[in-house]
Amino acid sequence: MAAKTRIAAEPAERMLVMQRIFDAPRELVFKAWTEPEHLVRWSCPRGFTLTHCEGELRPGGPWRSCMRSPDGKDLWLGGVYREIVAPERLVFTHAWDDPQGNPGPETLVTVTFAERGGKTEMTFRQAVFQSLGERDGHQGGWTECFEKLAQYVKTLVDRVNPRSS
């Protein structure tokens, strides 16, 4: 019996879906996703810094960021906002720049925010990646970002509602 060679993964396999509950109201989590002063605090993996962050929060509006790696390499990325339904849904394209500054392959990111009794259930989807390796690399990066986001929104909530020890 001849073995079949699989040349490319199916599109469904090249989709990243992640869910997370944040201990913060969805309006706050949505702001953390859409306002540069918040984005710079969480939207890059540990050890990286966001040195540039700008965007026009409207359908068709561009966004652009630069992440600096621990070894000082600047990684530029950007895209276009496709849909904004505050504080429920955010849809935008995402592409890394190549060494010449041109956008590489584009993925589509869809983030939904559901109110869950004062907490926020976030569902994150990004697709379609060129390869499973790219998908898995993004999963690792986004996981670290979402851990930072959870810590960041908790500090914002604690400032507004200090808890007695």
What's the total number of domains in the chain?
1
- d(Cα 125, Cα 112) in Å, to the nearest integer? 9
Residue 4 included in any domain: no
Residue 105 included in any domain: yes
Res. 165 pLDDT band, cuts 50 70 90 = very low
Q: What is the CATH number of the domain that holds 89?
A: 3.30.530.20
Residue 3 included in any domain: no
Q: What is the pLDDT of residues 134-157, one digit of tens each?
A: 999 999 999 999 999 999 999 999
Residue 61 included in any domain: yes
- Given a cut of 70, is residue 164 above it in pLDDT? no
Residue 6 included in any domain: no
Residue 60 included in any domain: yes
Q: In the predicted model, what is the mean pLDDT of the chain? A: 92
What's the pLDDT at 161? 83
For residue 32, the SS3 value is: helix
Range of the domain at 76: 14-159
Using alpha carbons, list the distances in angstroms from residue 116 to 25, 135, 152: 8, 28, 19
Residue 1 included in any domain: no
What's the pLDDT at 10? 74
What's the pLDDT at 163? 64
Using alpha carbons, list the distances in angstroms from residue 154 to 29, 40, 121, 149: 10, 16, 14, 8
Residue 5 included in any domain: no
